[in-house]
Amino acid sequence: MWNYSDKVLDLFYNPRNQGVIEDTQEPGFAVVRGEVGSIACGDALRLHLKIDVAQDRIVDARFQTFGCTSAIASSSALTEMVKGLTLDEALAITNQDIVAYLGGLPQQKMHCSVMGQEALEKAIYQYRGITPPHLGEHAEGEWVCTCFGVTREQIRRVIQQNRLTTAEAVTHYTKAGGGCGSCLRLVDEILAEATAPMTNVQKIQKIQSVLADLRPYLQADGGDVELFDVHGDRVSVVLKGACGSCASRVTTLKEVIEQRLRQEVWPALVVEAVRPVS
């Protein structure tokens, strides 16, 4: 039997915010959903968010989950965590934040927390009209684990965000390799690529790639970002348009750009905004 925390058991036996948010015609509000997983693969989550459009803030959150104790508890925890947050603040939530809120999860159930993070991102990015690489539709050749529908980009991202070092850990966090096992060789290859030390050139290229993924999201709000310089663990960027002048520019810089770079490039990175010399 799994060793669950009191918080996990409470949210399983007494789930908060379980159910549906119906589409609304209420002026100034929008309802969006993020769906991840598959009933055929064992776990599935549909996250419902009600958004105050003017404030860019989540005013309600509900979930429908098919899965185990950890899946239901993680989904319930997520809805409690996001209510009242701006979309930028919600995007900063990681699967480890969900685990911390729950007081821990068994290692074999960590994929439930990842499922929650991905559903949240999918809902928000869908609302913003953006499809990040790790959440998009992938050609058949890009699947790594066909048993559980896990892609190379999803595996690589989870390895980097959670500092995973073994194929067993990857299985715990993504379920990849937990079926027929034929993908474990590919998982080992991805692990070797994702954990290899980066040269400075590789670090800069990776930072540029992450910023390129973020730019459509920023441009949708009238802003933009451009890499200015990288010196050790300090990354200098230029915020443009609305990003450079709005009241939430610090939130955008720290809770969106810096958080994403720390997750996907290096956990010690510090991002600062500069004004380029004319």
What's phi and psi for 270, nearest 5 deg? -120, 130
Strand, helix or coil for residue 229 = strand
Query: Which entry of 68, 112, 147, 243 is annotated as an active-site residue?
Result: 112
Find residue 34's DSSP bridge partners.
47
What's phi and psi for 109, nearest 5 deg? -115, 10
**Whether 180 is catalytic:** no
Cα separations in angstroms, 188 against 144, 171, 206, 266: 11, 11, 21, 20
Residue 179: both structure tokens together = 């079926």
Strand, helix or coil for residue 137 = coil
**Whether 243 is catalytic:** no
Residue whose C-alpha is closest to residue 94's, from 113, 110, 80, 107: 113
Q: Please, what sign has the CA dihedral across residues 188, 37, 35, 68? A: negative
Residue whose C-alpha is closest to residue 40's, from 187, 155, 146: 146
Q: Give the alpha-carbon dihedral of 211, 207, 95, 219, to 10 degrees.
A: 0
Between CA 266 and CA 260 the distance in angstroms is 10
Name the residues annotated as catalytic. 41, 112
